[in-house]
Amino acid sequence: MADLAAKLKTVHQKIKTAALAAGCNPLAIKLVAVSKKKTESDVRAALATGQKIFGENRVQEAKIKFTTLRGEFPDLELHLIGPLQTNKAEEAVQLFDVIETLDRPQLATALAKAIKKAGRAPKLYIEVNSGNEPQKAGIAPRELESFLHFCREDCGLNIEGLMCIPPHKDDPKPHFMRLRELAARFSLPMLSMGMSADFEIAIACGSTEVRVGTAIFGERS
Ligand SMILES: *Cc1c(COP(=O)(O)O)cnc(C)c1O
């Protein structure tokens, strides 16, 4: 797995360069290694290089891959970056440290209930549909204020950040800038934006957390 170590190192170097160019501390930018569709041994190889933060997009897959690893690596941090069904809210609350895809009122209600029951509260980010794409999950930018109010006041949830996945064909920059503006307006410290193809642009736009899969683990089948 020398290949994986080299790829991770390259990603770290690019993060550092982009952060310094943007005038921010490279150590303040979190690298979430997206291990969806990759194996437990791929994750172990990344752990061996010191990588501690991983992202998965499905509850079931994450549970199978990470239950043992979690016991072995107590400081491992697991992020959910894919859509969450309300009937999986309890499992997600038990398994993940950060849920980045809070995208609708029913899910906020389900998470609030699950958090109370589990006595454990993952950090929560709201997914914003920055391009207002009809088929895409996420809260429309113009509805963010009222959704935040609902999460905080009606559900008692603590919201820590925003996440977005810009439309495939668009220049991602305006989307990243818009997300940063929204996070600033509502005093949300965490900004999850940037993937393999655009994480340096995202960092230039103020990202605090990049989600990188392919550039670390190679293509997914
Ligand atoms: C798969 C995925 C990523 C990682 O994508 P790469 O292009 O492989 O870096 C990041 N964020 C989300 C939400 C994803 O589903």
Any ligand 1 atom below 6 A from CB of 214 = yes
Could you give the domains of the chain?
A: 2-19+28-217 (3.20.20.10)
Distance CA 71, CA 102 (A): 27
Residue 84 CA, ligand 1 centroid: distance in Å: 16
Q: Six-digit token pair at 22? A: 């943007």
Any ligand 1 atom below 6 A from CB of 80 = no
**Atom 4 (ligand 1): residue with closest C-alpha?**
213
Residue 83 CA, ligand 1 centroid: distance in Å: 13
Structural contact between residues 123 and 160, judged by C-beta atoms closer than 8 angstroms: yes
> For the whole model, what pTM was predicted?
0.97
Question: How big, in percent rounded to 5, are the helix, strand and coil portions of the chain?
Answer: 50, 15, 35
- Choice from 38, 125, 164, 195 to test ligand 1 binding pocket (greatest atom count within 8 A of CB): 195
The minimum-distance atom of ligand 1 relative to the CA of 220 is 8
Average pLDDT over residues 44-60: 98
Any ligand 1 atom below 6 A from CB of 179 = no
pLDDT for 150-163, tens place per residue? 999 999 999 999 99
The minimum-distance atom of ligand 1 relative to the CA of 211 is 10
Distance CA 4, CA 76 (A): 18
**At 64, which amino acid appears?**
I
Distance CA 203, CA 198 (A): 9
- pLDDT of 38 > 70? The answer is yes
Provide the H-helix boundaries in 35-88: 40-48, 59-72
Any ligand 1 atom below 6 A from CB of 94 = no
**Atom 12 (ligand 1): residue with closest C-alpha?**
81
- Choice from 14, 34, 214 to test ligand 1 binding pocket (greatest atom count within 8 A of CB): 34
E strand intervals along 95-189: 98-102, 123-127, 159-163
Per-residue burial over 143-181, b if 16 or more Cβ lie within 10 Å, else e, is ebeebbeebeeebebebbbbbbbbeeeeebeebbebbbe
Name the residue among 216, 219, 221 with its Cα closest to residue 55.
216
The minimum-distance atom of ligand 1 relative to the CA of 214 is 8
Structural contact between residues 177 and 160, judged by C-beta atoms closer than 8 angstroms: no
pLDDT, averaged across the chain: 97
- pLDDT of 214 > 70? The answer is yes
Name the residue among 106, 17, 97, 7 with its Cα closest to residue 51.
7
Provide the H-helix boundaries in 49-135: 59-72, 89-95, 105-118
What confidence tier does 1 reach under pLDDT thresholds 50, 70, 90?
A: low
User: What was the pLDDT predicted at 221?
Assistant: 86
Could you give the C-alpha distances from 51 to 42, 59, 79, 177, 181, in angstroms and in order?
12, 21, 13, 28, 30
Residue % of the chain over a pLDDT of 70 = 100
Structural contact between residues 61 and 87, judged by C-beta atoms closer than 8 angstroms: no
Residue % of the chain over a pLDDT of 90 = 98
